[in-house]
Amino acid sequence: MDVFQNQTLATHTTVRLGGNARYMVVARTEDELLEVTQYARHNQLRIMVLGSGSNIVFGDDGFDGLVILNEISDTNIDASTGYASAKSGTNWDEFVQQCVSNNLAGIEALSLIPGTVGASPVNNIGAYGQEVKDTITKVRVLDTDSLTFVELSNKECQFTYRNSIFKSSAYGRYIITEVFFKLAPANEDYAAPRYASLQTALNGQGILEPTVQNVRDVVISIRQAKLPDPSVLPNTGSFFKNPIVSQEKRDALLQQYPTMPYFAHKQGVKLAAGWLIDTAGLKGYTQDGMRVYDKQALVLVNDGTRSFQSLLNMKNHIQKTVYEKFGVMLEPEPEIIA
């Protein structure tokens, strides 16, 4: 096991920001992960696990502990039953493609979401009418308290909107090593997710009875048209969660903004954060080397800054502006370590 000191974090995150990690190590197997975790405990080091770094931002002071680069990767798919699993370091979109190639439905609308399989339950990723919580059966983890591998059921993961036990009550305790899914064979009764923009795009291409591959292809084309490639324009993807408000708040806003989009949600009403930011006049706004992306106001692009403070200033400005205009406070979606 090679442990490296004072390694830059900016090159390991898609927004290309962050100071140095005090220590950094690569784990390619569960055994190596356990060994690294034991090393950290023996040396009283905090641990942070990184996959592709697409949904995390580090501050300029970096991380005073041990950063583990997760490269534990493999997949197992049974097309006849719909059961599938993937190691946590597996590229998420490659896993989706494999499932779609096996004609399995349930995560096809989550195509091209950046990151690894291990990040999918942490953030309960979702898009175009699908959420990963609806297909996950269990998650295999290393419990850093007991230094044993255990499995958590879907219920034990405590999934909510863009959240889970891994981001809330058990933050930092579990290191995900494998995720298990139950998908549905997409037979003749397959129905694409009933999501307005997805249905419009399918209809626009004359696809009236779509396959899972059709849905994946259309989702990819939509995302590529409105979201920047982080390898070209550094970003974290969607930076803000779509806020959940009460029906009373929605009704009050509709009186002033009758065309405001909103969506039913079991916890209330979900508003479109991108629309709020755009309507507040911030699409394309630039400040200190950060920019609100011109094609999708949810995305903050790093146009050349090397300072986390620039991103923090932009975040605060957007939150303040949107709150003053709509009375709605936006919450960041990526994890911020500062």
Catalytic residues: 162, 238, 333
Which residues is 150 bridged to in the sheet?
141
Instruction: Give Cα 89 distance to the centre of its chain.
Output: 14
* Ramachandran sector of residue 16 (left: φ over 0; alpha: ψ -120 to 50; beta: rest): left
Per-position b or e across 173-196, b if 16+ CB within 10 A of its CB: ebbbbbbbbbbeebeeebebbebe
Closest CA to 115 of 106, 127, 129, 101: 127
Residue with tokens 């059921």: 153
Burial of residue 112 (CB within 10 Å: 0-12, 13-18, 19+) is middle
Q: Which DSSP helix (H) or strand (E) runs through 169?
A: none
